[in-house]
C-alpha cells in the first residue's frame, strides 16, 4: 500500500480492526488452505457451514445470548428491519409503541404505520433530538404488541442511559450503531437488530436476535423472505446469505473474544469517548449539543457555531488523515464516529488536530 491508512471517523461503513482485515487478506484467495476464497464458496459447503455456526456461537458467547433466542444473519440492512419488525410482531392487536429519538427511529415508526396502529409515545424532535426522553411502563399501551426504541442515535450522538421498562410487552431495539460496544442484558429485549457496517463487518449483513416466542406470527401474505421463522428454521441459509460479510463478522466476534470480550471493549470505548467529550467541554471553540447524560459512546457530535468554519474543519481534518468528520447531511456540523475499531491513538490525533485548529481559528 502506498498511502498510510487514515483514521476513518465515518458513521458507517466504518473502520474494522486492522488485524481482522490483515487476516482476511491473508486468507482471501485460499481460505485456510481449502483451495477456495470465501467469496467463491458455496453457502452449503462444509467450510461455510462451519464459518456460519462459529460466527453464531462466538456472538452468543460474547453477548451472552440465552438459549431461547435465535440469532439470524439477514440482508436488507436496518431499513428492512423497519418493516420486518411490524410484519412479524404485530401479532395480536396490531398496536405498536415507538419512542422517536432521531431520524432512524422516525423512519422505523413511519414504516410500521403502513402495517398497523403506531403510537409515538415520546419524541425529542422539538429539540433536534438532543436528548433521550424518559419513558416509563405506564406510558405504553397495555395491549401494545411491542415497544420500539433506537438505543444509539447515530446522527444526533445520543444513547439511552437506561433500558426502558415495558413489563410483558416485548421491547425491540435498533442497535445498528452500538451493538458490541457495551455490555447489554439481552433478556431485557424481545428482539434486537443491527446492520453490521458500523461495529461488525462490511455492509450487507444484518444481525437479528429474537426471542423464540416471537417467531411464527407473520401473516400468510407476508413475503417468505420477511418471515423471521423461515430464517430461524433454516439457520440463516434459507437463501444465499451474504457469506463474505458473515465471515468477516465472525472474525470480528473472535477478535472481541480474544481482547477480553465486550467488557474490555466497553472500557476502551468509555475512555475514548470521555477524553473527547472532556476536551470539547473544555474548549472555547467547540460545543456538543447533546444532553450530557445521554451522550453516545459511538458518535460524538460537535459544532463551532459557524457553518463555514465547520466545513474548513472537515476539509483540513481530511488533509491531516482524519477522514469523514462531517456531520450527517441533514444537520451539518461535525461528527466523530469512534466505533470499536477506532484506535485510542485515532482519538488522540483528533484531539491534537482540534487543539491546533482552535488555536489557528480563534
Ligand atoms: C441507528 C440506525 N438504524 C438504521 C440505520 C439504517 O441502516 P441501513 O443503512 O443498514 O439500512 C442506520 C444507518 O446508519 C442507523 O444508524
Crossing angle (nearest 10°) for helices 103-113 and 77-89: 40
Q: What is the pLDDT of residue 3?
A: 75
Which grid coordinates belong to 130?
Answer: 438532543
The per-residue pLDDT for range 192-243, each reduced to its tens digit, is 999 999 999 999 999 999 999 999 999 999 999 999 999 999 999 999 999 9
Average pLDDT over residues 117-137: 97
Using only C-alpha atoms, the chain has a radius of gyration, in whole angstroms, of 21
Protein residue with its CA nearest to atom 16 in ligand 1 = 154
Q: Which of 276, 252, 254 is nearest to 14 (CA)?
A: 252
199 close to ligand 1 (CB < 6 Angstrom): no
Return the CATH architecture of domain 21-258. 3-Layer(aba) Sandwich (3.40)
Q: What is the signed CA dihedral for 73, 179, 18, 324, rounded to 10 degrees?
A: 110
Cα 62 to averaged position of ligand 1 atoms, centre (Å): 22
339 close to ligand 1 (CB < 6 Angstrom): no
The DSSP call for residue 165 is P
Q: Are 197 and 12 in contact (CB under 8 A)?
A: yes
The per-residue pLDDT for range 76-98, each reduced to its tens digit, is 999 999 999 999 999 999 999 99
Locate the ligand 1 atom nearest the alpha carbon of residue 197 and give its number. Answer: 10
Residue 134, CA distances (Å) to 78, 116, 163, 294 in order = 24, 25, 10, 11
> What does 117-132 look like in DSSP terms, one character per residue?
EEEEEEE-GGGTT-S-
- Identical topology for domains 21-258 and 261-360: no
Largest CA distance in the chain: 63
* pLDDT above 50: residue 262: yes
d(CA 296, CA 124): 15
Return the CATH architecture of domain 261-360. Alpha-Beta Complex (3.90)
Average pLDDT over residues 349-360: 98
12 close to ligand 1 (CB < 6 Angstrom): yes
Q: Count how many Cα atoms sit within 13 Å of the Cα of residue 52 in the half-sphere of its side chain.
A: 23
- At a CB cut-off of 8 Å and minimum separation 6, what does 162 contact? none
Protein residue with its CA nearest to atom 1 in ligand 1 = 176
* pLDDT above 70: residue 316: yes
Locate the ligand 1 atom nearest the alpha carbon of residue 152 and give its number. Answer: 1
357: three-class secondary structure by DSSP: helix
Percentage of the chain lying above the pLDDT 70 cut: 99
Q: What is the pLDDT of residue 92?
A: 98
Percentage of the chain lying above the pLDDT 90 cut: 98
Q: Are 78 and 206 in contact (CB under 8 A)?
A: yes
Give the residue extent of every domain in the chain.
21-258, 261-360
The per-residue pLDDT for range 147-188, each reduced to its tens digit, is 999 999 999 999 999 999 999 999 999 999 999 999 999 999
Locate the ligand 1 atom nearest the alpha carbon of residue 80 and give its number. Answer: 11
Calculate the average pLDDT of the chain.
Answer: 97
Protein residue with its CA nearest to atom 6 in ligand 1 = 78
Angle made by CA atoms 200, 324, 198, in degrees to the nearest 5: 10
150 close to ligand 1 (CB < 6 Angstrom): yes
**36-75: b (≥16 Cβ within 10 Å) or e:** eebeebebeeebbeebbeebbebbbebbebeeebbbbbbb
Phi then psi for 317, rounded to 5 degrees? -60, -45
d(CA 57, CA 75): 19
Q: What is the pLDDT of residue 294?
A: 98
- Name residue, grid cell 434459507: 238
Q: What is the pLDDT of residue 233?
A: 98
* Residues known to be catalytic: 104, 174, 198
Q: Are 149 and 174 in contact (CB under 8 A)?
A: yes
Q: What is the pLDDT of residue 362?
A: 81
330 pLDDT band (50/70/90 cuts)? confident
Q: What is the pLDDT of residue 158?
A: 98
d(CA 23, CA 19): 6
d(CA 361, CA 354): 10
1 pLDDT band (50/70/90 cuts)? very low
Amino acid at each position: 500500500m502506498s498511502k498510510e491508512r487514515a483514521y476513518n471517523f465515518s458513521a458507517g461503513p466504518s473502520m474494522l480492526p486492522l488485524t481482522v482485515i490483515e487476516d482476511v487478506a491473508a486468507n482471501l484467495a485460499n481460505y485456510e488452505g481449502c483451495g477456495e476464497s470465501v467469496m467463491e464458496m458455496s453457502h452449503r459447503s462444509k467450510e461455510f457451514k462451519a464459518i456460519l455456526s462459529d460466527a453464531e456461537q462466538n456472538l452468543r458467547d460474547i453477548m451472552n445470548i440465552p438459549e431461547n433466542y435465535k440469532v439470524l444473519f439477514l440482508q436488507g440492512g436496518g431499513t428492512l428491519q423497519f418493516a420486518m419488525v411490524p410484519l412479524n410482531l404485530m401479532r395480536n392487536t396490531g398496536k405498536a409503541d415507538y419512542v422517536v429519538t432521531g431520524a432512524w427511529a422516525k423512519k422505523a415508526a413511519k414504516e410500521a404505520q403502513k402495517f398497523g396502529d403506531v403510537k409515538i409515545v415520546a419524541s425529542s424532535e422539538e429539540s433536534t433530538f438532543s436528548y433521550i426522553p424518559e419513558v416509563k411502563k405506564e406510558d405504553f399501551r397495555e395491549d401494545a404488541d411491542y415497544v420500539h426504541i433506537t438505543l444509539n442515535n447515530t446522527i444526533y450522538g445520543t444513547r439511552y442511559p437506561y433500558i426502558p421498562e415495558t413489563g410483558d410487552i416485548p421491547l425491540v431495539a435498533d442497535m445498528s450503531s452500538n451493538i458490541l460496544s457495551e455490555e447489554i442484558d439481552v433478556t431485557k429485549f424481545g428482539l434486537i437488530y443491527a446492520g453490521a457496517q458500523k461495529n461488525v463487518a462490511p455492509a450487507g449483513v444484518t444481525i437479528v436476535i429474537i426471542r423464540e416466542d416471537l417467531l411464527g406470527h407473520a401473516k400468510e401474505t407476508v413475503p417468505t423472505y420477511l418471515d423471521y421463522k423461515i430464517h430461524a428454521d433454516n439457520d440463516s441459509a434459507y437463501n444465499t446469505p451474504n457469506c463474505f460479510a458473515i465471515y468477516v463478522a465472525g472474525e470480528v466476534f473472535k477478535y472481541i473474544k480474544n481482547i477480553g470480550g465486550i467488557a474490555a471493549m466497553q472500557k476502551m470505548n468509555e475512555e475514548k469517548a470521555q477524553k473527547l467529550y472532556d476536551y470539547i467541554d473544555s474548549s472555547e471553540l467547540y460545543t456538543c449539543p447533546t444532553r450530557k447524560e445521554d451522550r453516545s459512546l459511538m458518535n460524538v457530535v460537535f459544532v463551532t457555531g459557524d457553518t463555514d468554519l465547520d466545513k474548513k474543519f472537515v476539509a483540513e481534518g481530511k488533509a491531516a488523515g482524519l477522514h469523514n468528520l462531517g456531520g450527517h447531511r441533514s444537520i451539518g456540523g461535525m461528527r466523530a464516529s469512534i466505533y470499536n475499531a477506532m484506535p485510542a491513538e485515532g482519538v488522540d490525533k483528533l484531539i491534537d488536530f482540534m487543539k491546533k485548529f482552535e488555536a489557528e481559528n480563534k
